[in-house]
Structure 1
Amino acid sequence: MAVAVETFFLDENYGGTLQKQLQEIVTSGILSGRFLPGERMPSSRKLAAHLGISRITVTLAYTELLSNDYLTALGRSGYFISETAPLPPRFEPSAQNGENQVDWSRALGQRFTTYSGVGRPLDWRNYKFPFIYGQTDASLFDHGNWRRCALQALGQRDFEALTADYYDQDDPKLIEYIVRHILPRRGITARPEQILVTMGAQNALWMAAQILLTQRRTAVIENPCYPELREILNQTRCNTLSIDVDIDGISPDAIPADADVVFTTASHHCPTNVTMPLDRRRALLNCAEKHDFVVVEDDYEFEMSFLKPAYPALKSLDHRGAVIYIGSFSKSLFPGLRLGYMVASETFIREARALRALLLRHPPGHIQRTAAYFLSLGYYDAQISRMSKIFAQRREVMFDAMQAAELHIAGQNSFGGSSFWMAAPTGVDTTQLSLDLRQDGVLIEPGAAFFHPHAVKANYYRLAYSSIPASRIAEGIEKIATAMRKTGYT
């Protein structure tokens, strides 16, 4: 028998090349059992004509499938499904297979699905006005050089970095670059033994909470704050105290004497964007010494200080080793990278290293080595410079548009960043407003999730300019203002 040419369809939304898509169609057909060993494939000419693609594309796909033993060639007879093609194991479905046999409401010891953070649709790129935070702008990312670094990391010379089980260690090239180039920009001096690579900042926050907190200890967080941090602390069952931030961030005077850990985003508060002045940073460290608590500093977006140079990190002022510093490449490169780092005393890092080894061993070696090349070859700094210039332009355009539309800015970073913290008139529910705006192609981030659950301020929201071109900003801002006027609260 022959595989009918009509069974082949191309997906216009497929993320790869036509050749790769065709290979995937054939391999999935074989692995699912739809294409059987010995069946004849359509000729390259016939399949190309059916799909409306070049014949060479089909020929290249067939050649690749031939080399991987999915197809076999029989002289002038054409291509056939290989008799030795890889096949998945087959099992008869069990009549008892199902979830109704277990009372999961009783069996589950903990629940994590109750949490809902700052939501955004997965297809956010299809919206014309995506004022959402932390996503990658494809026009700004240096894809070509990242690909070159990834290919270099796949080379024979880096075979050990690619394939080895580091167990609890990290890529020495990446650690060296962090020590010699990244940390000095924040005024931090550290040894390799004081650094741990993480799967992003959120993974670092989770490890810090697991190591430092118990049910009998007290954690202090900012209000509003990064929503996922509050949920991380809830899972530790520690006593959590939320302290409202002012125009200078969290106030040391409001921190109780029995605090064990204080979490702060001193350089760029999430989400208000305020920056803690140097004198308050010193006061916070003095308070930490007086009451003997540890400070966890999440120093996200420090690279985006395009308006004026950033203040030194809180960790750079720490002479007691009381600050655990968290940095991330996920915001400056792309969120899917999931690569960050922690800097702390050697004693803490040893515990964090052991915890990470139990959980996930280590971040993938290939990712670490690719990032190390991208950093050391200067591509990272070039990308940061390019992003800073574009963000500065977009920020100016957005600021002018919001002023013209009479939208109220509740907080903005005088150093740069990639977003504005906004306040709608009292009475406006920005969660509902965000749903209404989606119908008009506009995405905003409601602010409710950032606040303590018992003190939610429903009229706040965040507008970011990292994912939207400058040419669309003014029109999008006007749509927000129009929708807000329709609420009747303006």
Structure 2
Amino acid sequence: MAARTDPAIWSGLFRISPESGQTLQAQIRQAIVAAILDRQIAASMPLPSCRVLAEKLGVARGTVVLAFQQLVDQGFLIAKERRGHFVNPDMLTLPARAPGTVRRNDPTLDWKSRRKVAASDMPEPSKQENWIRATYPFVYGQFDPGLFPTAEWRECNRMALAVLEIRNWAADMVDRDDPLLIEQIQARLLPRRGIFANPDEIIVTLGAQHALYMLATLLMGRGTKVAMEDPGYPDARSIFRLSGAEVLPVPVDRDGIDPDAIPDDCGFAFVTPSHQCPTMVSLSDERRHKLIADAQKHDRIIIEDGYDSQLVDDAPQQALRGLDRSGRVIYVGSMSKTLAPGLRLGYIVASAELIAELRALRRFMLRHPPANNQRAVALFLSLGHHEALVRRLSAAFQERRERLMQAVTSYMPDWRMTETPGGTSLWLKGPPGAKSQVLAENAAARGVLIEQGARFFDRPEQNARFMRLGISSIALQHVEPGIRELAMAAGRQAAAA
């Protein structure tokens, strides 16, 4: 019994943190389960009483009582009258966790020589793991916790966990998608872009990148030529090259990609016409029609990425898919920029014949995206939460964008902005001699995170003067101070040069 009251034993096993995302009760349960499965508590050793453990951890006694009761219900603990709680001996018959990882690598094994796809040789993504801790995170593609619809998203997840709803999504759907989600994409998301599609013309994906990977796998290979914006979406460029295709860079100006610069023998053209990645310019109406006309003339397929297109724009334009009458435009969309990038939910809109082939291909990759997430998102859309969120985000981002442009004009006048309405980032070109890589390193030391622009070009080594500033994850009041710090970092770089 002495061990039961020895504070040194239990203080080391049970550690809780107020900064954890888990409740105190959940943290206590996790600590006890880990200690049991790691053989740190013997079956003969009683756990401390609820009162003692509550005092040691600085929590309410009721919190420990509830944690112990749930562990009893799950079979991890046994409650013995007047003796306390003990580890269930049956749990100790499970294999213990290995004390360490044993490496069994043959030093003569060269995995690089055996690979058939050079994925690791492709440009790396912009890594901003600690962006949420940064004071001034001008990073693109992340979310603002202050704008996330927490209550609404919880409501939809609770609804998806109702008994009847579980029956709708818990089974293996093989190659199908949640019919309610398909219906909501068809009725709520696509009409905003001027697209009207039948249910058999839509497939759900794990984000836009998964959509592009499936299209490249199904339609491209050695000998395929893909025209792509330069600068343009770097991961799309890598995906097409991994399929064996040849990517041909096409210049972008203030009106978007130039259709006349696309070689006649290109079988595909990848474009981001709503807000071009990364410059944010919109493809002009004249070039939209020219792009579609040329596709028919040269028997070309257009892959349209609806990049940054779900927000409310001052001058919204119809998607190419909505203008197309020949079925040559494949539309790729996602909810990463509105609901959450971590959700990884996207979709493809194309002819029914192509969607059927994509379903067959997807079945061999992952069968279908998680059905519980599909149902929760479907409910989120059907209850009008997404529409309300889009309006709230659009207003907040427009205010941040205006503040950002004013701050850059005031503090960094030698950096030229691409001025475009809408979008969640700003594209800048620095003065001669500017190097965004050096600037990013110096700025990070001041708590300012930016994205280097060179990675968006087909020839990154020749384009060191560009950078992208995102506005989706930085609070309005931090925009101007962040640009002041960035300007000081740029000034030091110029002085050093």
TM-score normalized by structure 2? Answer: 0.94
Q: What CA distance in whole angstroms lies between the structure 1 residues aligned with 2:375 and 2:156?
A: 8
* Alignment equivalent of 2:236, drawn from 229, 234, 238: 229
Q: What CA distance in whole angstroms lies between the structure 2 residues aligned with 1:94 and 1:455?
A: 43
5 Å-filtered alignment, 1:449-464, equals 449-453=455-459, 456-464=462-470
Question: Hey, what does 1:6 align to over in structure 2?
Answer: 11
Cα shift at 1:410: 3.2
Cα shift at 1:196: 0.3
Cα shift at 1:424: 1.6
Deviations 1:154-203 (A, max 9, x none): 11111223311111110000001111221111111111111000000010
Distance 1:72-1:184 versus aligned 2 partners, 3 A rule: same
Q: Does 1:168 align with 2:175?
A: yes
Name the SS for the 1:350 alignment partner: helix
Q: Would the aligned equivalents of 1:117 and 1:227 in 2 still touch at CA under 8 Å? A: no
Name the SS for the 1:326 alignment partner: strand
Distance 1:91-1:425 versus aligned 2 partners, 3 A rule: closer
Name the SS for the 1:302 alignment partner: coil
Q: What CA distance in whole angstroms lies between the structure 1 residues aligned with 2:185 and 2:349?
A: 10
Name the SS for the 1:113 alignment partner: helix
Letter matched to residue 143 of structure 1: T
Q: Would the aligned equivalents of 1:31 and 1:87 in 2 still touch at CA under 8 Å? A: no
Letter matched to residue 39 of structure 1: M
Letter matched to residue 193 of structure 2: R
Q: Does 1:77 align with 2:80?
A: no
Q: What CA distance in whole angstroms lies between the structure 1 residues aligned with 2:484 and 2:101?
A: 58
Cα shift at 1:152: 0.7
Q: Does 1:114 align with 2:121?
A: yes
Unaligned runs of 5+ in 1: none
Deviations 1:286-309 (A, max 9, x none): 000110100000002212234x14
5 Å-filtered alignment, 1:82-481, equals 82-85=88-91, 88-90=94-96, 97-101=103-107, 102-306=109-313, 308-407=314-413, 408-414=415-421, 416-453=422-459, 456-481=462-487
**Deviation larger for 447-456 or 345-354:** 447-456
Q: Would the aligned equivalents of 2:279 and 2:426 in 1 still touch at CA under 8 Å? A: yes
Cα shift at 1:119: 2.0
Letter matched to residue 10 of structure 2: V
Distance 1:94-1:429 versus aligned 2 partners, 3 A rule: closer
Deviations 1:113-161 (A, max 9, x none): 2334342331211110000011111110111111111111111111223
Q: Would the aligned equivalents of 1:272 and 1:410 in 2 still touch at CA under 8 Å? A: no
Q: Would the aligned equivalents of 2:174 and 2:363 in 1 still touch at CA under 8 Å? A: yes
Cα shift at 1:353: 0.8
Q: What CA distance in whole angstroms lies between the structure 1 residues aligned with 2:80 and 2:205?
A: 51
Q: Which runs of 4+ in 1 moved over 4 A?
A: 90-97
Cα shift at 1:362: 0.2
Cα shift at 1:454: 5.9
Distance 1:199-1:87 versus aligned 2 partners, 3 A rule: farther
* Alignment equivalent of 2:488, drawn from 478, 482, 485: 482
TM-score normalized by structure 1? Answer: 0.95
Distance 1:95-1:251 versus aligned 2 partners, 3 A rule: closer
Name the SS for the 2:119 alignment partner: coil
> What is the identity percentage for the equivalent residue pairs of Structure 1 and Structure 2?
38
Distance 1:339-1:88 versus aligned 2 partners, 3 A rule: farther
Q: What CA distance in whole angstroms lies between the structure 2 residues aligned with 1:140 and 1:263?
A: 32
**Deviation larger for 15-24 or 264-273:** 15-24
Q: What CA distance in whole angstroms lies between the structure 2 residues aligned with 1:321 and 1:10?
A: 57
Letter matched to residue 382 of structure 1: A
Q: Would the aligned equivalents of 2:37 and 2:96 in 1 still touch at CA under 8 Å? A: no
Name the SS for the 2:242 alignment partner: helix
Q: Would the aligned equivalents of 1:118 and 1:445 in 2 still touch at CA under 8 Å? A: no
Cα shift at 1:12: 4.1
Distance 1:22-1:225 versus aligned 2 partners, 3 A rule: same
Q: What CA distance in whole angstroms lies between the structure 2 residues aligned with 1:96 and 1:359?
A: 30
Cα shift at 1:18: 0.9
Letter matched to residue 6 of structure 1: S
Q: What's the RMSD between the two structures over aligned residues?
A: 2.0
Q: What CA distance in whole angstroms lies between the structure 1 residues aligned with 2:83 and 2:123?
A: 58
Distance 1:23-1:90 versus aligned 2 partners, 3 A rule: closer
Name the SS for the 1:257 alignment partner: coil
